[in-house]
């Protein structure tokens, strides 16, 4: 046993001691928040998990120990217990011989739903819900993953998915006879995991297990593990914005752990991702539907106003209502004149992208396709590769940069590169039309 583990056991035992003394009325009143492991309040079954796991998986118990859940006597068993006949029920775990309940390793949002119904319902109605489902459904994606990135390798073709796409988008968990998830599907920190019980989602990506803190989820880093990079550089755009500048210079001193619904300007000076897309502010209520406050679709090849209730649709949302909600966020700190001016310029940038870049690019592509002047393998065809970059990388950077106040992304990584892409496509298009052939 390591010294660290010994130390933690001692802490847990001291914790039990403290609670017992507190209950017997001999010591000062317990502190208001996170008052240590309330192990004494747990049933015998629930306490057994905590006590044994304090040495078996020390970090997990330590995280749980400091959480709101521990303070509310919500423990391992409340999330991990399953019906004995659940496909996720574990068998053969060394250490679990004496357990009287069935436990699972996977914990789907259905477990959270027992106590947090509203958050789960909002998540289920959001674009995050389909993060995995839409990738599994698309043949072109599966071809990219297995044929091109995986090079049709007989054993290894899923490696790029397992270490890449799936860690952001999610996976369909498969389980073995003992109820354990298989190594090719687990672990996955993706947003839209599909569980053996049919449930979809992942409640542990923004407030990570086992502390499940709202403070963590309110910080921009909670979104940054997925919303970054050349095709959706949201964290980089944020850092480039005035809001990000203020967060970077003084964010560590802000108040992050105000109760749900009570986190307001004053606790912070500038908004984070959560403030604009999720948190309650002023009259607005917190939402776990990150689609609710959006007007456009800014990841699609052509941006249109959102107007669909189908969670699988790229147009999910109600654009006009979304814009009003977003403006309400701005209005807590800015004048109407500022936000109106900001959105007017931002919307112009979206229309410029649509009308001057995507539509002409798509017209050229469609014509070449009709004439049989596109290579069969799009990833070896300079025209199609440039077309892809135009909407998927440069075009998203320009659009997202414009509407989140990141001038470097709107311009240098955005429109500047867009005009280069378009000119390159025009040259290739003209050559193919003139010669009637695909250049070598």
Which pair of tokens denotes residue 275? 């403030």
Shortest distance, position 162 Cβ to ligand HEC, whole Å: 11
C-alpha distance across the termini of the chain, in Å: 65
CB-nearer residue toward ligand HEC: 128 or 432: 128
Q: Which is nearer to ligand HEC, 89 or 373 (CB)?
A: 89
Give me the least distance between CB of 231 and ligand HEC, in Å please.
7
CA distances from 122 to 125, 129, 176 (A): 5, 9, 32
Q: Which is nearer to ligand HEC, 57 or 157 (CB)?
A: 57
Determine contact, residues 176/198, Cβ cutoff 8 Å: no
C-beta closer to ligand HEC: residue 316 or 373: 316
Q: How far is the CB of 19 from ligand HEC (least distance, A)?
A: 16
Shortest Å, Cβ 354 to ligand HEC: 13
**Angle formed at CA 373 by CA 301 and CA 142, multiple of 5 degrees:** 50
Are the CB atoms for 239 and 246 separated by under 8 Å? Answer: no
Residues 14/53, Cβ–Cβ less than 8 Å: no
The angle at the Cα of 8, spanning 6 to 10, to the nearest 5 degrees, equals 70
CB 88 within 8 A of CB 32: no
Task: Output the smallest distance, CB 25 to ligand HEC, in A.
Answer: 25
Contact indicator for 12, 70 with CB cutoff of 8 Å: no
- Listed in sequence order, the residues at least 6 apart from 192 whose beta carbon sits closer than 8 Å to its beta carbon are 128, 129, 130, 131, 132, 133, 169, 170, 200, 201, 202
Nearer to ligand HEC, 272 or 368 (CB): 272
- The residue nearest ligand HEC at its CB is 127
Least distance in Å: CB of 181 to ligand HEC?
8
Find the Cα–Cα–Cα–Cα dihedral 375, 381, 382, 388, rounded to 10°.
Answer: 100
Q: Give the nearest distance from C-beta 271 to ligand HEC in angstroms.
A: 4
Residue nearer to ligand HEC on the CB measure, 345 or 435: 345
CA distance 28 to 94: 41
Q: Cβ closer to ligand HEC: 33 or 434?
A: 33
């Amino acid at each position: 046993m390591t010294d660290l583990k010994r130390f933690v056991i001692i802490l847990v035992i001291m914790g039990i001691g403290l609670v017992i003394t507190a209950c017997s009325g001999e010591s000062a009143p317990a502190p208001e928040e996170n008052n240590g492991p309330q192990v004494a309040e747990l049933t015998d079954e629930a306490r057994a998990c905590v006590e044994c796991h304090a040495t078996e998986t020390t970090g997990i118990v330590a995280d749980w120990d400091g959480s709101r859940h521990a303070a509310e006597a919500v423990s391992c068993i409340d999330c991990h217990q399953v019906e004995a006949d659940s496909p996720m029920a574990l068998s053969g775990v060394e250490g679990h011989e004496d357990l009287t309940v069935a436990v699972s390793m996977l914990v789907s949002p259905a477990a959270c739903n027992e106590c947090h119904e509203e958050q789960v319902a909002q998540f289920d109605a959001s674009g995050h819900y389909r993060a995995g489902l839409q990738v599994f459904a698309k043949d072109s994606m599966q071809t990219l993953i297995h044929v091109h990135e995986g090079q049709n390798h007989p054993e290894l073709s899923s490696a790029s998915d397992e270490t890449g796409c799936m860690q952001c988008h999610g996976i369909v968990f498969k389980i073995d006879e003992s109820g354990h998830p298989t190594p090719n599907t687990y672990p996955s920190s993706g947003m839209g995991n599909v569980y053996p019980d049919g449930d979809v989602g992942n409640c542990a990506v923004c407030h990570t297990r086992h502390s499940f803190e709202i403070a963590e989820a309110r910080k921009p880093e909670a979104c940054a593990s997925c919303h970054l990079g050349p095709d959706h550089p949201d964290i980089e755009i944020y850092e480039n914005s005035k809001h990000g500048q203020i967060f970077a210079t003084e964010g560590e001193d802000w108040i992050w752990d105000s109760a749900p619904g009570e986190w307001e300007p004053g606790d912070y000076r500038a908004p984070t991702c959560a403030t604009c897309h999720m948190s309650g502010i002023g009259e607005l209520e917190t939402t776990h539907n990150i689609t609710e406050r959006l007007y456009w679709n800014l990841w699609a090849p052509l941006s249109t106003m959102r107007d669909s209730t189908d969670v699988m649709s790229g147009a999910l949302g109600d654009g006009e209502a979304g814009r009003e909600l977003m403006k309400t966020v701005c209005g807590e700190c800015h004048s109407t004149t500022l936000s109106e001016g900001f959105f007017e310029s931002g919307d112009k940038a979206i229309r410029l992208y649509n009308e001057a870049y995507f539509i002409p690019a798509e017209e050229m592509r469609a014509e070449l396709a009709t004439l049989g002047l596109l290579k069969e393998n799009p990833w070896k065809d300079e025209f199609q590769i440039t077309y892809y970059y135009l909407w998927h990388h440069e075009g998203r950077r320009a659009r997202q940069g414009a509407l989140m106040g990141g001038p470097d992304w709107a311009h240098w990584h955005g429109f500047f590169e867009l005009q280069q892409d378009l000119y390159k496509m025009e040259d290739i298009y003209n050559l193919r039309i003139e010669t009637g052939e695909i250049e070598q």
